[in-house]
């Protein structure tokens, strides 16, 4: 995990500073012996006097000389202690953004939990036409692992220094922080894959035509394998496994895979999968005959669903710092923020269809007027005569109360392979907005 001892130390020989100067500045912090020796060598160069704190804190050549020496002479824990002593003596401010991180994580968890409760509450209590399906259970599983990742940060990473400079932490805190971050990585990979699978499972219910079903099922299997591969890689990226959180000090033997390469591969692959998953229903809408108001609503909802993709793209900027970070407890702050937002916003987007149904249940006037007095017809393709599948071969009576539609079956024309054929068993059908399938209603498929 730690590949360089370059700590950019501003080491000061506090033991050599006069008592009067020490009283004027902040309370002195003792340097490790290796850093004290390096400071003495730097003073011998004549650049700064031992009692000239301003020169010691600001002279770049003096700082470079001390840094070069401590990099060679000190262990990583000693180098971190030297940096902390240096900055404290120079009066550098102590940075801490744990408060904003805690607030952001609690907000993300609360928002995602609310939408999942709303989704299951509607289906279990308010609607008999919307059974709990695979997509619902996958969304719930996403929430479980997303909350787990946030919980690890809230009660593991943050108490041990996430959001603070690493040189202000004790060695045991760095180890605990690294262990917590290890668990947040694989839980994020798992939650991200489950979220994508939940979206695909939803589209499997909405688009039942055989060709689209095969495409979606293939995407579902691929996403499962893709996500599982990254979870396994994250779990076993170090040999031994505990080297992920014990190897930071350079005192333990072991090796780790390139964590930066793993993170970038997962991020870029995830964005590509998101675009593919959203692209399938957007492409199919070209062939579905819906009232234009309903089609606009569906397109808008799908485009809002790309919000998770936007967050995934914005998250890439945090991986740039991850690649070269020597201050992981500070730089991993952005990764924790963006990863939590990505899962939370993804869950919200996955629950938008159910939110629409709930709003229609509460405010019936929000229902689609385009289907209020029309049968639910949606066709793929055209018949061989070149006509699109409108109402040819069918006669409809005037709708009765309750949006029931009487359909009289007539001889149907021969249809292409991808066309929708209506069978002979037509009766009275009732339109409903009680299920997400009503977004794109396909009869006789």
Any idea which residue has 């308010």 for tokens?
A: 126
Q: For the residues of 35-73, what is the DSSP string, one character each?
A: HHHHHHHHHHTTSS-TT-HHHHHH-HHHHHHHHHHHHHH
The alpha carbon of 364 is separated from its chain's Cα centroid by a whole number of angstroms, namely 35
Q: Contact 168/376 with Cβ under 8 angstroms?
A: no
CB 350 within 8 A of CB 195: yes
Q: Cα separation of 139 and 91, whole Å?
A: 49
Pull the structure tokens for residue 49. 């006097």
**Is the separation of the CB atoms in 62 and 54 below 8 Å?**
no
Contact 186, 231 (CB under 8 A): yes
Distance CA 307, CA 348 (A): 10
Which position has the token pair 């004549």?
Answer: 46
307/325 Cα distance (integer angstroms): 28
142: nearest Cα among 116, 123, 110: 116
- Report yes or no: 156 and 179 within 8 Å, Cβ to Cβ: yes
d(CA 117, CA 125): 11
365: its two tokens: 């006037």
How many alpha carbons fall within 13 Å on the CB side of residue 423? 5
Is residue 149 within 8 Å of 216, Cβ to Cβ? Answer: no
Q: What angle do CA 76, 9, 74 make, to 5 degrees?
A: 35
DSSP string, 5-36: ---------GGGS-HHHHHHSSPP-PPPHHHH
- 52 annotated among ligand-binding-site residues: yes
For 287, the 3-state DSSP assignment is: helix
Binding-site residue positions for heme: 52
Binding-site residue positions: 52
């Amino acid at each position: 995990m730690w590949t360089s001892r370059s700590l950019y130390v501003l080491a000061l020989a506090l033991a050599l500073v006069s008592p009067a100067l020490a009283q004027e500045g902040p309370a002195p912090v003792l340097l490790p012996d290796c850093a004290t020796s390096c400071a003495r060598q730097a003073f011998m160069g004549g650049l700064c006097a031992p009692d000239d704190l301003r020169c010691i804190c600001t002279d770049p050549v003096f700082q470079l000389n001390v840094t070069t020496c401590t990099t060679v002479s000190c262990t990583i824990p000693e180098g971190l202690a030297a940096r902390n002593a240096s900055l404290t003596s120079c009066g550098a401010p102590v940075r801490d953004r744990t408060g904003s991180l805690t607030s952001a994580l609690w907000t993300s968890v609360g928002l995602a939990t609310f939408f999942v409760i709303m989704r299951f509450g509607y289906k279990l209590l308010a609607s008999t036409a919307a059974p709990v399906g695979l997509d619902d259970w996958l969304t719930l599983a996403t929430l479980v692992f997303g909350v787990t990742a946030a919980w690890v940060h809230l009660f593991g990473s943050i108490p041990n220094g996430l959001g603070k400079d690493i040189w202000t932490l004790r060695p045991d805190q760095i180890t605990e922080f690294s262990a917590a971050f290890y668990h947040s990585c694989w839980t994020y990979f798992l939650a991200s894959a489950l979220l994508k699978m939940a979206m695909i499972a939803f589209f499997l219910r909405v688009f039942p035509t055989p060709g689209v079903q095969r495409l979606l099922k293939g995407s579902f299997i691929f996403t499962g394998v893709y996500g599982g591969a990254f979870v396994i890689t994250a779990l076993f990226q170090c040999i031994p496994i505990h080297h992920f959180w014990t190897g930071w000090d350079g005192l333990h033997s072991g090796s780790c895979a390139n964590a930066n390469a793993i993170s970038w591969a997962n991020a870029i692959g995830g964005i590509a999968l998101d675009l593919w998953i959203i692209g399938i229903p957007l492409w199919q809408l070209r062939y579905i005959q819906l009232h234009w108001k309903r089609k606009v609503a569906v397109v808008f909802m799908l485009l809002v669903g790309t919000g998770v993709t936007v967050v995934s793209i914005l998250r890439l900027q945090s991986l740039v710092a991850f690649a070269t970070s020597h201050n992981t407890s500070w730089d991993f702050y952005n990764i924790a923020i963006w990863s939590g937002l990505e899962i939370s916003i993804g869950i919200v987007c996955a629950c938008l269809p159910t939110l629409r149904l709930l709003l229609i249940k509460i405010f019936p006037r929000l229902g689609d007027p385009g289907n209020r007095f029309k049968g639910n017809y949606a066709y793929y393709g055209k018949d061989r005569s070149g006509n699109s599948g409108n109402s040819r071969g069918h006669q409809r009576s005037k709708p009765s109360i309750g949006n029931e539609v009487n359909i009289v079956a007539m001889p149907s024309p021969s249809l292409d392979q991808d066309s929708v054929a209506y069978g002979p068993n037509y009766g009275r059908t009732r339109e409903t907005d009680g299920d997400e399938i009503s977004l794109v209603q396909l009869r006789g498929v």
